[in-house]
Structure 1
Amino acid sequence: MSIETDSPETLARHSAKMAKKKAARDKIMAGKSGEKGLIIVHTGPGKGKSSSGFGMILRCIAHEMPCAVVQFIKGAWDTGERRLLTENFGDLCQFHAMGEGFTWETQDRERDIAAARAGWEKAKELIRDPEIRMVLLDEINIALRYDYLPLDEVLDFLREEKPEMTHVVLTGRNAAEGLIEAADLVTEMTLIKHPFRSGIKGQAGVEF
């Protein structure tokens, strides 16, 4: 099967269109020179919130930027990301698994609150360290949703004590409106299809 080639006129129009787009993009980028530590929120019912956060952690590691992870819910799980980071990049990335599982697994609110509080105290310690460039607070939105942590306390700390150049990533469904308003970058993962609905369980390499 042969592939038709575009005419010279079509190629010329395409080149002119792309040149115009590049000039407009370059003009936009020329006005973007500032840098700051960002508050980043990954939320929504779709898959990929934690995965995206760990992708950013790997970027930091690739740039030799010290970083840290605090897991608020999945601490009892043996996850691939936990193995990878602790076994290969412990010199650049601290990993603290503080949770004991989802709230329906522990069935003990006081224990869940204590675990969330311990996770938040560790998170504050890490965020305060100016040498650490990014801190991922994995599934903290769940702890906030169930009132295991006071939202105002978290927002006040991020506003008043986070070092200027430190990035903080907060993941989990149902991010609070106050957190969304305070964030610099918010991404909502939407759910279109999920194999769980077809009777397929979570699998290594995909879910953990």
Structure 2
Amino acid sequence: MTQGSSRTSQALKDIRSLKVVAIHPDDQDGEELRGQLRRIGCEVQMVWPSLDALPDGTDVVFLAVRPETLSIQFPWLDAKGTPPVIPVVSYENPIVIEAVLQLNPYCLVPSPVRSFGLLTAIAISLYQHKSKRTLEHYVGRLEDKLADQRKIQQAKTILMETRKLSEQDAYDLLRAQAMAKRQPIEVMAQAIIQAHAVLDF
């Protein structure tokens, strides 16, 4: 089995244990959605029309985008760690399309709901959501690293100006002080910056 097929197989297994919230009317289409999700193996909670907070452990949200939901605010949508949202769309007009775009979904499910495409929509949404979070984590680490480099550069500049050192000597002194105090060099750099700010006040 190739790595790609193994990954797909694992993803499909994971889907069978998902905790799904469906913000959808309890109508025929809602019953079809709930039934299909349960046949896949998901644990489903149906609510309508609003939901102030997602239940703990929610993996995926299905949201019926209808005229009566357009004015409803969902506070959890902008929260950190919000799971992927899959719109269920029964209308195609500019207002509904704009509402769907604001959800920033990876895919959608047309209404009336059918079995075909539902599993794929979940798999794509979960995969893309995981990829996005991995990228955000990577970018966050890069930003932290750049911030640390700026601190080190600022601390070196302070040492160069106050002690009349070359850039290399300033760095060597900074590193030596960090090693002597068993601290990361960026922590020592921050301490030098803060001390300089106090003395320069």
Same topology, TM > 0.5:
no
**Under a length normalisation based on structure 1, what TM-score does the superposition of the two structures give?**
0.34
- The structure showing larger relative contact order (alpha-carbon pairs under 8 Å, at least 6 residues apart) is 1
**Under a length normalisation based on structure 2, what TM-score does the superposition of the two structures give?**
0.35
Larger Rg, first or second structure (1 or 2): 2
Whose helix proportion is higher, 1 or 2? Answer: 2
